[in-house]
Chains A and B, each alone.
Chain A
């Protein structure tokens, strides 16, 4: 058997794959954050709470309406996205042009409210949510035993991330979006409804978080605190990738998942800290992040 640094090769390959799977969640969540930050200039602290909401909506649809996993994968992001639109219209839109700190605090307050209400309603221990029948079971890859559902998570995340990236970089809608990011008044002058675009962008970013939430529901505990575990790490991913950089957040998300996965083999205690070590090194050497542009 091949060993690398005293660890059997198959185990290491397994960890690489698991790291990628975790990275899929980081990528989906940080992608939403990056899009929101790019256009709205808001650091969306409610992202974790909305991720949680996505999972809970999926659970609620199954429990109360009998709607299964597959429709929920589409419906839950739509519902949570609509909620995001409402949030943006009523609260966040009042803060444009102000410092990031205010947006961060406002969304932090929203996160507290959402999580608090969810705890009051559903308790803290969480809710059961089963893996859909079509994706149950596992497959033997030779070097590891991979649950089919995890494989699906990676594929779904990659497809959605790439799709989002293509829309933003390769379509005329994306071009308008990028233009509005650079110079909103000018785009407005061309007769494009920028405020509406901003609102829909926030909704889309939030929907991505909810999508990740539904993906997470069968494998993580569906409880009101599930998002707060992620939020700080996802921030770090966005900063390392370069604030507002779409491709940066996707690649960094997957990359950091892998780094974290390896740390779990060699020094598991530090696996939550390693991301911050990377962040310090990156910010000291490349101030705008790995993929960010210095302005």
Chain B
């Protein structure tokens, strides 16, 4: 067959696969470097709760620790797609010499990344996803769960609110795994504390922006507390509209089951004041948190750290301490070894103070229930919270014997 211009060009037509080529570099030199991969949402709805600020906090930890071995922080945007998250994670572990993945919001992506980490015996420090399964059904010896989970949020906000007199609840719940789990857990704590649940409106997630209909149902239930089992923009929308419909003026208290200081900033104190919510970190909690915040804020002036960002910092710092203890060479061998080392050592950092990591991989720290200040009480930028109740670390989390993690000895 004679080869002419046309056939050569045709051959070129199928070349795009090679567009994916420039990858295989940087393997040899990577042998000794400890690589930390921050994988989170940088372009979507969870950009502010994790995103670039999370990367900055991880880098801050490296900078402060000043390790005597080479460390590199890389980052990527998983766009909230589980398959993309899984493929970036596996490529990082397999090809790029990444030793630990940090952050990963959105439970479906987190669980996918957990599967990848488990199969390869690589470390994964979750700070962004809420699902308690990461230290339960889907646990692995190389996974640590930091900052918050559905159980801890439900216990801190649910229990304490009932004790403060809010004994009848109505839920507005995002109808997906996270929202349902949060509602179930909170219902448990409310009932245990002697309260009752009068009703719930599960709404389709994502894609709902008007909550007035559910708010009206909540109002006519005459419940004392409105529990919002949702996150991000949905929470902001529901609170904004609850304010508009005068729910709080009618004496109803709003408990946002998952809300970050970044969301409070989005609402403004006019609307947000009086809300109760739980975070494990707040910048103005004590001298150490203030010191940490003062170091980080210049790098992210418009987005102050919330508990996910703080956990990115604390988890990275503790990871580096464990690597130092083991030596970089040994640490690169096995994720489970590093995580075991992390569990052996008590944690100590400016963001969370002195704490520990439990056998099943759960980071135990106190849970703080906050009330949002009024405008008059707030004295500066991001001065938003009043501490209401602190649940100590040994009581805030799911007991070890209920964890359901396969390698935990009964």
Point out the residues of chain A lying under 8 angstroms from B237, CB to CB: 220-221
Pick from B203, B216, B245, B265: contact of A268, CB below 8 A: B203
Pick from A22, A138, A149: contact of B210, CB below 8 A: A22
What are 20 pairs between A and B in contact, CB < 8 Å?
A: A15-B216, A18-B216, A19-B213, A116-B43, A123-B47, A124-B233, A125-B49, A126-B233, A126-B236, A138-B245, A138-B246, A144-B216, A220-B209, A220-B240, A221-B237, A221-B266, A223-B236, A233-B207, A264-B203, A268-B204
Point out the residues of chain A lying under 8 angstroms from B271, CB to CB: 128, 130
Whether A259 is near chain B, meaning CB under 8 Å from some CB there, is: no
Point out the residues of chain B lying under 8 angstroms from A271, CB to CB: 203-204, 208
Contact B246 A145 (CB under 8 A): yes
Contact A128 B209 (CB under 8 A): no
Point out the residues of chain B lying under 8 angstroms from A145, CB to CB: 219, 245-246
Contact B302 A269 (CB under 8 A): no
Point out the residues of chain A lying under 8 angstroms from B209, CB to CB: 220-221, 226, 229-230
Given A131-B244, A219-B240, is A264 in contact with B220 using a C-beta cutoff of 8 Å? no
A2-23 toward B: CB 8 Å interface, digit per residue (1/0)? 0000001011001100110110
Contact A150 B212 (CB under 8 A): yes
Q: How many residues of B contact A (CB 8 A)?
A: 44
Contact A123 B219 (CB under 8 A): no
B43, B49, B246: most-surrounded residue (chain A CB, <10 A): B43
A78 to B92, CA, bound (A): 48
Whether B194 is near chain A, meaning CB under 8 Å from some CB there, is: no
A11 to B201, CA, bound (A): 14
A195 to B48, CA, bound (A): 43
Minimal Cβ-Cβ distance residue in B for A130: B270
Whether B133 is near chain A, meaning CB under 8 Å from some CB there, is: no
Whether A60 is near chain B, meaning CB under 8 Å from some CB there, is: no
Least CB distance from B230 to A in Å reads 12
B interface list, Cβ under 8 A from A? 43-49, 51, 175, 201-204, 206-210, 212-214, 216-217, 219-220, 232-233, 236-237, 240-241, 244-246, 262-263, 265-268, 270-271, 302-303
Minimal Cβ-Cβ distance residue in A for B44: A124
Point out the residues of chain B lying under 8 angstroms from A225, CB to CB: 44-45, 233
Contact B204 A272 (CB under 8 A): yes
Q: Closest 4 A-B residue pairs measured CB to CB?
A: A128-B268, A272-B204, A125-B266, A124-B47
Point out the residues of chain A lying under 8 angstroms from B262, CB to CB: 123, 125
Whether A119 is near chain B, meaning CB under 8 Å from some CB there, is: yes
Whether A261 is near chain B, meaning CB under 8 Å from some CB there, is: yes
Contact B245 A128 (CB under 8 A): no
A18 to B210, CA, bound (A): 9
A134-151 toward B: CB 8 Å interface, digit per residue (1/0)? 000010000011010110
Contact A269 B246 (CB under 8 A): no
Contact B220 A8 (CB under 8 A): yes
Least CB distance from B12 to A in Å reads 25
Point out the residues of chain B lying under 8 angstroms from A21, CB to CB: 210, 212
Whether A79 is near chain B, meaning CB under 8 Å from some CB there, is: no
Minimal Cβ-Cβ distance residue in A for B235: A221
Given A125-B265, A147-B244, A225-B233, is A269 in contact with B213 using a C-beta cutoff of 8 Å? no
Contact A265 B302 (CB under 8 A): no
A128 to B217, CA, bound (A): 25
Point out the residues of chain A lying under 8 angstroms from B241, CB to CB: 219
Contact A128 B204 (CB under 8 A): no
Contact B220 A11 (CB under 8 A): yes
A55-79 toward B: CB 8 Å interface, digit per residue (1/0)? 0000000000000000000000000
Minimal Cβ-Cβ distance residue in A for B244: A147
A233 to B240, CA, bound (A): 22
Point out the residues of chain B lying under 8 angstroms from A265, CB to CB: 213, 217
Contact B212 A268 (CB under 8 A): no
Within 8 A of B (CB), among A210-239: 218-221, 223, 225-226, 229-230, 232-233
Whether A127 is near chain B, meaning CB under 8 Å from some CB there, is: yes
Least CB distance from B210 to A in Å reads 5
Whether A171 is near chain B, meaning CB under 8 Å from some CB there, is: no
